[in-house]
Amino acid sequence: MRRFKMLGIDPDKEQDKVVAGYRNNFKFFDAPCVIFVGMDKTLTSWSVFDCGAFVLGFLLAAHAEGLGACPQAFPTGYSSTIRSQLNIPDQMMIVLSIALGYPDLTVPVNQYRSLRRDLSEFVRWHGF
């Protein structure tokens, strides 16, 4: 909700604008490119970690090249539609999508940075 407030949207009074903001997920925030990350359904659930490692490396490489990349889980809820439109075989599970493009920094939402909790709030060191 902080993101909506930064955009001047009152989430309690402007639900139509909040819904429109969420709908942007399904347009991939108007990015010119989207990447779907998938894995074969025969792999174990541990392979999701491999996908995560790949995505992290990809996001860092994209950023180093000046690209904006936004990992998204929302569109994967429509994996059957995505699969049929892109001829992705049924044995492939769509894990994540990544909207990709050069960010327009004049658009306020592209200047938004989410808050990060301090490591001490969720990491416990034992024996070090």
| 97-123 pLDDT, tens digit each | 999 999 888 887 777 778 889 999 999
Specify the pLDDT at position 23.
82
First and final C-alpha spacing in the chain: 38
Number of independent structural domains in the chain: 1
Dihedral in degrees, nearest 10, Cα atoms 41, 47, 48, 49: 180
Specify the pLDDT at position 11.
80
In a domain, 4, yes or no: no
DSSP 46-108: THHHHHHHHHHHHHHHHHHTT-EEEEESGGGGGHHHHHHHHT--TTEEEEEEEEEE---TTSG
Q: Work out the average pLDDT over 69-76.
A: 89
CATH value at residue 35: 3.40.109.10
Between residues 10 and 62, the one the model is more confident about: 62
Specify the pLDDT at position 38.
93
As a whole number, the mean pLDDT across the chain is 89
In a domain, 117, yes or no: no
Specify the pLDDT at position 82.
92
Distance CA 40, CA 58 (A): 19
28: left (phi over 0), alpha (psi -120 to 50) or beta: left
Domain that holds residue 81: 27-111
Which pLDDT band holds residue 20 (cuts at 50, 70, 90)? confident
In a domain, 2, yes or no: no
pTM: predicted TM-score of the whole model, two decimal places: 0.79
In tens, the pLDDT along 77-102 reads 888 999 999 999 999 999 999 999 99
